[in-house]
Amino acid sequence: MMFSVTCVVAAILIGIARVYAAPRRGRDVSSWARVMGCVVGADIKRSWLPGLHRVRIAVAYTVDGRRRVLERVHPSDTFSRALARTLKHPIGSQATVSYNPARPEEAVLAPRTRRYVPEQAFGDAVAG
């Protein structure tokens, strides 16, 4: 009985880890508009999965007079890789944001590929 519970738990954790590290797929973003943004947040959090970390990069950008914040979360298998990613985007630095002109809240941070993956982006109206 104990062996079967352990196997089930191990299978679930392996499945979650595979989904967590799966390659991302999406649609073509090559025609999306680009705008310069400013990095307003960058931090590292430990994942609940052993040995993994999550890097959060937040970039503020403005489209049609409305301020939005793109928040992107990256999985990382080591702390040193997570740290390298945050050092690549220091707070206050500029970053290129590609956004969907029809829905500016859909955005990606300097995509290396031409594919889009929905990010955790949200828009806030500029106060004042």
pLDDT digit string (tens) for the chain, length 128 residues: 555 666 556 556 555 554 444 334 456 788 899 999 999 999 998 888 777 898 999 999 999 999 999 998 888 878 888 888 888 889 999 999 999 999 999 998 865 444 444 443 444 333 33
| Rounded (to 5) percent helix, strand, coil in the chain | 25, 45, 30
Cα dihedral: 87, 27, 34, 73 (round 10):
-30
CATH class of 2-123: mainly beta
pTM for this model (two decimals)? 0.63
> Would you state the structure tokens that stand for residue 103, as one six-digit string?
């829905």
- Enumerate the domain spans of the chain: 2-123
Backbone angles phi, psi at 47, to 5 degrees: -80, 160
With vertex at residue 40, the alpha carbon angle to CA 47 and CA 124, rounded to the nearest 5 degrees, is 100
SS3 93: coil
